[in-house]
Amino acid sequence: MFACEAVDLDLLNTAPIRLRAAVNVGRPPSEVFAALAHDPANWGEFFPGFDRSGRWQTPGPHGVGSRYTKRFIGITIEESVLAWDDGARLAFRVDATTAPALHAWVEDYHFESDGSDGTLLRVAIGGKPRLAFKLATPVLPRAFTLLMTRAGHNIERGRWFSTPTTNS
């Protein structure tokens, strides 16, 4: 594994790569939060590139300080939860990956009511890429927007599970 810096949410404002997206999801904030937070394997259901191998590495109940792994395009990613406000916010950092892609990476998800029965999902990412990942920098903003839009549509269509899991 390639270790990443143990950064906090300040990286969102100082990182060389800063990505932002806002997506409308036709599900209540509590359901969208559950899709992202309750089971790391769910990411394989709605995020293109992720598989269903995600698992909690710490026992429940889950929240700030919990750790999990996910796999994206064949790369295993270890992450730690930095913020967990049930139904409103989820943030995490990447602790290590099986590919030398990142020095540091933080993601912050905010779940806001859209005024009806839906969610305005606001996502912010801050990253310090290693050389190989720097080459992708020019396409990241557009690719990130497309990825979040696809994930939002998949969650809206019910491709998620709201029951918390402990992977026991």
Exposure string over 142-167, b if 16+ CB within 10 A, otherwise e: eebbebbeebbebbbeeebeeeeeee
Instruction: With a cut of 50, say whether residue 101 has pLDDT above it.
Output: yes
User: 3-class DSSP state for residue 140?
Assistant: helix
pTM exceeds 0.85, yes or no: yes
> pLDDT, tens digit, for every residue of 134-166?
877 888 899 999 999 999 999 998 855 544 444
Residue 29, pLDDT score: 96
Residue 76, pLDDT score: 97
CB 91 within 8 A of CB 82: yes
> pLDDT, tens digit, for every residue of 6-50?
999 999 999 999 999 999 999 999 999 999 999 999 999 888 899
Residue 159, pLDDT score: 57
Residue 160, pLDDT score: 56
Torsion of CA 99, 105, 111, 114, to 10 degrees: -90
Residue 63, pLDDT score: 97
CB 108: neighbour CB atoms within 10 A? 20
Residue 164, pLDDT score: 47
Q: Which residue has the higher pLDDT, 163 or 91?
A: 91
**β-strands 119-129, 17-25: how paired?**
antiparallel
Average pLDDT over residues 44-57: 93
Q: 């295993």: which residue's tokens?
A: 76
> pLDDT, tens digit, for every residue of 58-75?
999 999 999 999 999 999
Residue 127, pLDDT score: 96
- Distance, in Å, from the CA atom of 50 to the CA atom of 24, rounded to the nearest integer, reads 21
- Distance, in Å, from the CA atom of 38 to the CA atom of 36, rounded to the nearest integer, reads 6
- Distance, in Å, from the CA atom of 161 to the CA atom of 164, rounded to the nearest integer, reads 8
- Distance, in Å, from the CA atom of 59 to the CA atom of 105, rounded to the nearest integer, reads 24
Average pLDDT over residues 108-125: 96
Token duo for residue 14:
């100082």
Per-residue DSSP letters for 33-63? HHHHHS-GGGHHHHSTTB-TT-EESSPSSP-
Instruction: With a cut of 90, say whether residue 167 has pLDDT above it.
Output: no
Average pLDDT over residues 76-89: 97
* Amino acid at position 18, single letter: R
